[in-house]
Amino acid sequence: MTSAIPLSFPDITDAEIQAVVRTLRSGRLSIGQEQEEFERLVALRAHRSYGIAVNSGTSALHLTLLALGIGPGDEVITPAFSFVASANCVEYVGAKPVFVDCDPRTLNMKTSEVDRKITEKTKAIIGVEVFGNPSGMDQLAALSTKYEIPLIEDACEALGGRVGNEPVGAFGRIAVFGFYPNKQITTGEGGMIVTDDDHIADICRSLRNHGRPSETMEAGSGMGSWLDHQQLGFNYRMSEIAAALGVAQMRRLDELIDARQTIAEAYTRRLMGNPELIIPSVEPNTHMSWFVYVVRLSDHFTPDDRDEIIAGLRRHELGTSNYFPPIPLMNYYRRKYGFGVDDFPIAHSVGGRTIALPFFSRMTEREVDLVCQTLELMMTRVRFVRD
């Protein structure tokens, strides 16, 4: 008899519950001190001057591109292997996503290919720390400086990580976090923009709130009128309820990250001897903040084998997923730009063989063991049926 093990599970304690209840009782449910405190804590962690809380990581990316003035006719470099939001935001502003294939080890964008794809139309580079691995972000930052093209660090999967002494969120002109329930910390739904650029911070603060002049904008300043004339605002605000949850989670960030690290190490210990599996690798000098634990099947397995293994694990009530199908090969992008599998050979090959295993801070070693045992059983079964 097995009990269900989900793919992810948020780590909510009494501290979070009390923070939310306190906020509900306070009568102040939007634009208040919880938001301010949450922004302060995240900005501090990322060594940034400003944090701007919004209602999702995707909204944060959208505002970031608008604040940089990116629109039709512009190109934005973005990973082929990532969560779809890191490309969709480029479509929202009418610019063209220029996809870059991934490095087969780190799964992050190949820096050399980013360099090759920069043109005079390139207005930004979106760098993603895929699965929480920040390696290569320093190289993207160097490239961004060399060409004077702003780097947007999509750090939605990597809060709490580091490259050397530099925290995730400190690279590039702007960084963005997301707080969906499967991330390192959650606000239910939510996101945050962090930056040192006060002009960009002001624009983002205004755009999340219908384009109203933000509290820090001086009346009659040039920017106020720029917004009046050019900018359509949104309601991308985060509620005080969500922000209170975020504050309580931020206070536990190190505890949450350490717990995730322990689970990741248990998986690695258990699976590293299996020659048919490629397990996540962490580069020297980088401190990974584990978002998910994703293994790859060796090339003895086809994408159909992978899907069958996932189906088998799910039959055993083990939450698994195929993170990530390459974005340019998704229907919307394929139809619009006519990409084929040969355009992104690594993302295509990796994307056909990944399995995200159950991964959350409160997993037990026994659960890790059960997942690994079932995974290996399904791998054997698939090959036995086929051969």
Ligand X SMILES: *Cc1c(COP(=O)(O)O)cnc(C)c1O
Interacting residues with ligand X (CB under 6 A): 56-58, 82-83, 85-86, 128, 154, 156-157, 178, 180, 191
Query: Six-digit token pair at 192?
Result: 């945050």
Q: Where are the beta strands (DSSP E) in 112-161?
A: 122-128, 151-154
Q: Which of 298, 52, 53 is nearest to 195 (CA)?
A: 52
Tell me how crowded residue 151 is: count the other CB atoms within 10 A of its CB.
23
Kindly state the DSSP code that residue 237 receives in the 8-state scheme: P
Helix H or strand E encompassing 98: strand 96-100
Looking at the Cβ atoms of 191 and 312, the one nearer to ligand X is 191
Is the CB of 56 or the CB of 135 nearer to ligand X?
Answer: 56
Q: What is the CA radius of gyration of the chain?
A: 21
11 SS3 class = coil
**Three-class SS state of 323:** coil
3-state secondary structure of 74: coil
Q: With CA atoms as reference, report the closest residue to 53 among 182, 215, 239.
A: 239
Q: With respect to ligand X, which residue has the nearer C-beta, 78 or 361?
A: 78
Task: Enumerate the β-bridge partners of residue 176.
Answer: 154, 193
Nearest to ligand X of 128, 227 (CB atom): 128
Among residues 156 and 227, whose Cβ is nearest to ligand X? Answer: 156
The residue number whose beta carbon is nearest to ligand X equals 57
State how far the alpha carbon of 236 is from the alpha carbons of 57, 60, 65, 67, 189, in Å. 10, 8, 14, 14, 11
Asked whether 319 and 363 are in contact (CB, 8 A), the reply is no
- Annotated catalytic residues are 183
Please give the backbone phi and psi of residue 154, each rounded to the nearest 5 degrees, phi first: -85, 90
The least CB distance from residue 126 to ligand X, in Å, is 9
Measured from the CB atom, is 213 or 358 closer to ligand X?
358
| Residue of 288, 262, 276, 280 whose CA lies nearest to 368 | 262
Rounded to the nearest whole angstrom, what is the least distance from the CB of residue 56 to ligand X in the complex?
A: 4
Which amino acid type is present at position 128? Answer: V
Closest of 52, 41, 48 to residue 19, by C-alpha: 41
